[in-house]
Amino acid sequence: MKKFSVREMTIGALLIALAILIPNVMPKIVIGPASFTLASHVPLFIAMFFSPLLAAIVAVGTTFGFALSGLPFIITLRAASHIVFALAGAWYLQKRPETVLVNGQFKAWNWKFQLYNLVIALLHTVVEVLVVVAFNFIDLGNPGTYDGGAFFFFFVLMGVGGLIHSLVDYNIAYYVTAAVSKQFAIPVFRQAKDLFSRKAAA
């Protein structure tokens, strides 16, 4: 098993703290019972550029943070579901670091990253919707009372809204991480650059 360095522990702790802080300070879009907090997923998405292990630790740490903060239990369950897309996405980036580059550069529009982002957003949304549906149908809520009905809440608000939220947050994470990577070694971005340099030199 890969050892976790002091540097990685520090980064993980900072990202967990940010993930818990952001929902309390960032603006929210509230539609009916659903709410979407800008950048709430950004710390976890950033962790995915480091390693699957760091992504898993940030996902678990965030879940415990929400559980201890007194937020509604469904928020904790939604946070717990994030470990699925975090592990899958981080593993893919580790195998295909070139996903973050266009001709050796970090571009504002990168079709490889955007396609990857869409797949992660779909996985993120499907798992989160399943968790919310299960929570509401185990006699812990009454989905029929939502404005517009259960279908509108689960598949339009949670589904389409969650998909857009994920896409926006991962783009924010990408641009922030690409900027920071110019001064600070971030594994996936460094590996992508090294891979491009080797191919260019071949």
pLDDT tens for each residue of 104-142: 888 778 899 999 999 999 999 999 989 888 887 765 445
Fold for the domain defined by 6-186:
Arp2/3 complex 21 kDa subunit ARPC3 (1.10.1760)
Rounded CA-CA distance 163/156 in Å is 10
The pLDDT score that the predictor gives to residue 32 is: 52
Rounded CA-CA distance 117/196 in Å is 21
Of 113, 127, 125, 123, nearest to 177 by C-alpha is 113
Q: Which residues contact 81 (CB under 8 A, 6 or more apart)?
A: 127, 128, 130, 131
What does the domain layout of the chain look like in residue ranges?
6-186
The pLDDT score that the predictor gives to residue 199 is: 83
Written in H, E and C, the secondary structure of the chain is CCCCCHHHHHHHHHHHHHHHHHHHHCCEEEECCEEEECCCCHHHHHHHCCCHHHHHHHHHHHHHHHHHCCCCHHHHHHHHHHHHHHHHHHHHHHHCHHHHCECCECCCCCHHHHHHHHHHHHHHHHHHHHHHHHHHHHHHCCHHHCCCHHHHHHHHHHHHHHHHHHHHHHHHHHHHHHHHCCCCCCHHHHHHHHHHHHHHHC
Mean pLDDT score of the chain, rounded to an integer? 86
Question: What distance lies between CA 87 and its chain's CA centroid?
Answer: 10
125 in Cβ contact with 162 (< 8 Å): yes
Listed as ranges, residues in the chain with pLDDT below 70 are 1-4, 30-35, 138-154, 202
Rounded CA-CA distance 176/40 in Å is 14
The pLDDT score that the predictor gives to residue 37 is: 81
